[in-house]
Amino acid sequence: MDALTERLTQLFEPVVEGLGFELIGVEYHPGRGEGLLRVYIDHADGISVDDCARVSHQVSGVLDVEDPVSGRYRLEISSPGFDRPLIRERDYVRFAGHEVKLKLAGLWEGRRKLRGILQGLEGQDVLIEEEGQSLRVPLDRIEKGNLVSDL
């Protein structure tokens, strides 16, 4: 997790949890004219549009006061959806046994994409079983991870 994402997570987590939701993660994608700041939230009963609006209002207040992101950006509050992103280390433990797809930062053993059954996290390595082969992927080499939807 880069320094900005870590700072945003620290700023937003108490606000989101104070509203009764779980902060899944934060993504910031800078853009030429306008960046995108996406905040994923979840709740056992699911997430409604009204829930996203409530969280957006509170997170916007934090952003106005703290001003951690320079330039123009669009704030988006979202549920994790069926292809839930794997953002934090705890996600790679929590969803062990589920099918995942991983996009890697650069080539790792000649590959940029993996898809298999998540076996968990050991140290800083994500364990995945792909077509009967056990793989250890360094966590810092994973650019993006998602659950594969059963639907």
Could you tell me where in the chain the CATH 3.30.300.70 domains are found?
Answer: 3-78
User: What confidence score (pLDDT) does residue 43 get?
Assistant: 94
3-state secondary structure of 13: helix
User: What confidence score (pLDDT) does residue 65 get?
Assistant: 95
CB 43 within 8 A of CB 50: no
User: What confidence score (pLDDT) does residue 150 get?
Assistant: 77
User: Topology of domain 3-78, per CATH?
Assistant: GMP Synthetase; Chain A, domain 3 (3.30.300)
User: What confidence score (pLDDT) does residue 32 get?
Assistant: 87
CB 23 within 8 A of CB 13: yes
**Which alpha helices (H) appear in 2-148, and where do they start and end?**
3-18, 49-66, 89-94
User: What confidence score (pLDDT) does residue 29 get?
Assistant: 92
Could you tell me where in the chain the CATH 2.30.30.100 domains are found?
Answer: 85-147
CATH of 85-147 given 3.30.1780.10, 1.10.10.10, 3.40.1160.10, 2.30.30.100: 2.30.30.100
Below-50 pLDDT ranges, the chain? none
